[in-house]
Structure 1
Amino acid sequence: MTAPLMNPGLPAAGTEAALREELALLRQEAERLRRLLETAASVTWTDSGDDALSPSWTAFTGQPPEQMRKGGWLQCLHPDDRQGALAAWERAQSGNLPFRARYRLRRVDGTYVWMLARGMPVLGPDGAVREWVGTCIDIQAQALGEERAAFLARASELFSSSLEASATLASLANLSVSALADWCIVDVLHPDGHFERVQVVAADPSHSTLAASVQRLTPVPRDRPVYPPAVALSTGRSTLVPEVSDALMEAVAQDADHLEMMRRVGIRSLLTVPLLARGHILGALTFLITTSCRRYADEDLQFAQELANLAGLAVDNARLLHGAREAVRLRDEFLSVASHELKTPLTPLSLKLQALSRAVKAHPDSPLAPVIEAHVETGHRQVRRLTELMNDLLDVSRISAGTFRLQREDVDVAEVVREVTERFAPRFALEHCDFRVEAPGPVCGSFDRSRLAQVLDHLLDNALKYGAGTPVSVRLAAEGPVARLTVRDGGIGISKEQRPRLFERYGRAVSERHYGGLGLGLYLARTIVEAEGGSVSVDSCLGEGATFQVELPLSRP
């Protein structure tokens, strides 16, 4: 018997079972891959009509699949990110290339979350694109870290650009409302102990009037403060309130007006951190969310504390600088008053010495005449020295106050050099210095005659002090449009390290215990020369003397 023929249109029972088993395995594998994809990505999506491939998009954004297609997905992106994402999508589609973009995707609660979107084309047997599939991976933590690092860098740059505490706090408040808060409030604890609200900035310009009203409120701490800025100012503790309720506002309000103001602002979430530096409370920063669904959390508190640390350091530095400037101002004011007061008794003393000198000259035959005359001359010399020191102090006060002025006239510099050096010649002879002067004239220009003489006074006094017993020379030469004055001594010299500070106020190259003076002579010489449009420099090595060179313009525009 022959076996019956099988119907070729029907699969054998074994083959059908095998197909069913294969299909089941494919379904399991597809489900496995889908689960794996959902584990790796926050959102999966497709542009095909298969709604089963993108349920997570709908779950995350609340957008139905039919609205997602034909560019509708762009409506779920932050408005600022749509153009860039669309351009990346069109580039990928035009070349069948992988799609990649970073954008903020709106969550169903209205919060935007940073996503890294990737997509790939799925090709059919004919090589044409059948559909696009892709994922969106949550990179909110990474993006937020990058944003905050850039924010802190920008804050540091702004803080370092100003050395005034008020400008620092204004920069802080304006910077914060652009990235961290809808409102920023800055309260300050002044060194004298009183509190002041110095900055209130709202992101919405229409709230400027309300912000001004909030700024008029004073965060006066109580014995047991509960109002967050008062807590920070009194105790240095931070406050984080993720959700601000009306009951909470009633509990922390300082009075009825304060409560009404908080309600008008519409606080939804609040964060307050103290400004601290060197263990002292300098103020408090308060950040408010009033419009968005976002709420402050622990990571926001940590970031705000980092920002407050930067601001506290900047404010502390500004206060230290202000204190230093005030100390310098008071010192200069004291020097000015002291100079005037000290000069007052010098005038009658000088007159008495002159009278005594005349009396001695009237009795030349007296055996005491030479002794008295020597003492009178010593007294005159010391009075002149005290007068010069007082004048230097007065000049420093004038420079600090901005009242230092020159009275220019036509001057023969050579004549001034000869007059000053003739006055110094006896002093150099007394110190056994070989003193040489070379000042051929005329060397004419427009200068303040007395100030020009003062410059040479200080240079020669410096040479006499540090080059005593060594050759000292003065040379004046006109070289084209410039007069060059050189004073050279063979004294102790100046080390390379000390040269930069030599012309600074109170600058010294040696210890004041071994050499007297106020350390003002070369500073005043530099100030006068630069005011005349010239320059002064020094060339010296330790133990090999020093050469000071002054250049002055002989013609002016």
Structure 2
Amino acid sequence: MTPPLQVQAAPDDELTLLRLETERLRQLVETTAQVTWTDSPDDGQAPLANAWLAFTGQTREQMRGRGWLQALHPGDRERIRAAVDRARAANEPWAERYRLCRAEGGYVWMLAKGVPVRAPDGTIREWVGTCVDIHAQVLAEERTVFFARASELFASSMDVSSTLATLANLSVSALADWCVVDVLHPDGHFERAQVVTSDPAHASLAATVQRMKPVPQEHPVYPPAVALATGRSTLVPEVTEAVMRSAAQDAEHLETMRRVDIRSLLTVPLLARGHILGALTFLITTSSRRYDEEDLRFAQELATLAALAVDNARLLQDAREAVRLRDEFLSVASHELKTPLTPLSLKLQALARAVKAHPESPLAPIIESHVETGNRQVRRLTDLMNNLLDVSRINAGTFRLQREEVDLAQVVREVAGEFAPRFAVEHCGFQVEAPEPVRGCFDRVRLGQVLEHLLDNALKYGAGAPVSVRLTVEGGMARLTVRDEGIGIAPEQQPRLFERYGRAVSERHYGGLGLGLYLTRTIVEAEGGSVSMQSRLGEGATVTVELPLARP
């Protein structure tokens, strides 16, 4: 194989080759996509930075000294000045992010790096550096953070007005100088719900803008009206006088747009489940920035997120209103149903007295049985009506306790005595342990109601199985435990049993409204105590009520 040709250059040739190589490298640097620069620390000359000059529009004279800092965003200048000073004092490389102004206007995020070049004696001969465009990366990072923050705030608000206010304020901080939120209500009327501006001095003007509601026409031109009527977005990168004239709904509207000084506009609809809920309009009024297709995509993603939040808030409001109407109906129905129960109960009592007056009648035993059955059903219906009334009182905030000095042991024995015949009929073993007085300040009637609910559940779900009631005192707390050996409840079902209308079994096989444990929890917590359950399927259930005996 022939060895490579070796060319031995003369000293002058070496100098020429060095100059050619230097020029080649200079041309290579000048044509790179990066902004490059060199800067001598001592000679006071303007830096050699043709790429910088072309990008920023600065002159070499403007760059002299620290003049190049004027091309940076005002919010970044002092930070970068300090970083460069620290690096030069330590003769170490530096790397920082900052916003650099283009010659045609608008700031771009750059990753700037500077490196010292040393002379043979170790001194710093010059600094060289690059600025790499990272605008897309920074924008993506900022928008990721923005969406995370927006999602968090939307999720924390279940009110339509709060959601829209959050949306407007977030948008002004990240996307616009002004944000206008228009809403299309379910009944068909339009509302300008929010107008937010970044400049507090424009508060009066913002109020004027808010009074000007969009009214979609048959062929709308005004961007918010277009979004509300058709669900289409509008992007106007440059808002001119002609654009404002074509979009204005009247002379006052045109004059208001002029006062706002709109320079760029973006409107996107709020869409959820195929319905138009409103429109978002973003305005640029103070900078050379202009909206583009990337901004449109970002605004549409934000609108989708916001529309879901608004839709969820509306659904929740509708559900709450439905619950309110239901509870209102149940309250009225409870009062109305109790009205005929009183004379019915009186008639049963009169019939019972008549039977006792003629004990020799062969129909007496049959009538007594029917009267007792009627009384049980009246009591059951009365209890159901009272429970519904209690629920309506809780919802209305009128549920009150009437506290007095109470012996809990006596209350337990009295309620247990009332239930004993029912347990006997169902052939359930029934054991009660409440031997000593346990005194505290409670609502006697409500605590009796708590035990009634617990015994009623034990009887319902543990028919034929033993039931025990135990009252003890530990560390200033009274502990009431009701244990049955019935069907039991799966652990995952237990928390919902203490909610209103909560059930873990089919209402077809077990009656009731699902209010007993809800009222139990409400009463116990109002007394400053707690209630809990331990149960497994097929292994019965134990409900424990703890009440403080000492009250502040």
TM range (shorter): over 0.9
Residue pairs, 1:42-441, within 5 angstroms: 42-48=34-40, 53-441=48-436
1:411 and 1:446 in contact (8 A); partners too: yes
| Aligned position for 1:10 | none
1:516 maps onto 2:511 in alignment: yes
Which 10-residue stretch deviates more, 21-30 or 494-503? 21-30
1:478 maps onto 2:481 in alignment: no
Q: CA RMSD in A?
A: 1.8
| Aligned position for 2:3 | none
CA shift at 1:337, angstroms? 1.1
- Give CA deviations for 1:503-553 in whole Å, capped at 9, x if unaligned: 222222222121111111111112111111112222222222222222211
The residue type equivalent to 2:354 in the other structure is A
| Aligned position for 1:39 | 31
CA shift at 1:434, angstroms? 1.8
| Aligned position for 1:527 | 522
Cα distance change of structure 1 residues 51 and 481 upon mapping to structure 2, 3 Å threshold? closer
Matched length = 541
| Aligned position for 1:448 | 443
SS in 2 for 1:114: strand
SS in 1 for 2:360: coil
The residue type equivalent to 2:419 in the other structure is F
What's the TM-score, normalizing by structure 1?
A: 0.93
Which 10-residue stretch deviates more, 433-442 or 333-342? 433-442
- Give CA deviations for 1:185-216 in whole Å, capped at 9, x if unaligned: 01011111111101111111111100000000
2:39 and 2:46 in contact (8 A); partners too: no
SS in 2 for 1:177: helix
Percent identical among aligned pairs is: 76
Which 10-residue stretch deviates more, 342-351 or 119-128? 119-128
| Aligned position for 2:22 | 30
CA distance in 1, matches of 2:62, 2:240: 36
2:182 and 2:194 in contact (8 A); partners too: yes
2:490 and 2:535 in contact (8 A); partners too: yes
Cα distance change of structure 1 residues 117 and 380 upon mapping to structure 2, 3 Å threshold? same
1:109 and 1:293 in contact (8 A); partners too: no
1:163 and 1:317 in contact (8 A); partners too: yes
What's the TM-score, normalizing by structure 2?
A: 0.94
CA shift at 1:30, angstroms? 2.8
CA shift at 1:347, angstroms? 0.9
- Give CA deviations for 1:121-146 in whole Å, capped at 9, x if unaligned: 22223322222222222222222222
CA shift at 1:323, angstroms? 1.3
SS in 2 for 1:337: helix
2:524 and 2:545 in contact (8 A); partners too: yes
- Give CA deviations for 1:121-180 in whole Å, capped at 9, x if unaligned: 222233222222222222222222222222222222221221111111111111211221
The residue type equivalent to 2:518 in the other structure is Y
1:545 maps onto 2:537 in alignment: no
2:39 and 2:48 in contact (8 A); partners too: no
Which 10-residue stretch deviates more, 228-237 or 492-501? 492-501
The residue type equivalent to 2:29 in the other structure is L
1:187 and 1:195 in contact (8 A); partners too: yes
SS in 1 for 2:300: helix
CA shift at 1:485, angstroms? 1.6
Cα distance change of structure 1 residues 307 and 39 upon mapping to structure 2, 3 Å threshold? farther
1:41 and 1:136 in contact (8 A); partners too: no
1:437 and 1:475 in contact (8 A); partners too: yes
2:411 and 2:444 in contact (8 A); partners too: yes
CA shift at 1:23, angstroms? 5.1
CA distance in 2, matches of 1:306, 1:39: 38
| Aligned position for 1:9 | none
Structure 1 unmatched ranges of 5 or more? 1-16
Which 10-residue stretch deviates more, 76-85 or 17-26? 17-26
Cα distance change of structure 1 residues 41 and 119 upon mapping to structure 2, 3 Å threshold? farther
CA distance in 1, matches of 2:47, 2:344: 108
The residue type equivalent to 1:402 in the other structure is G
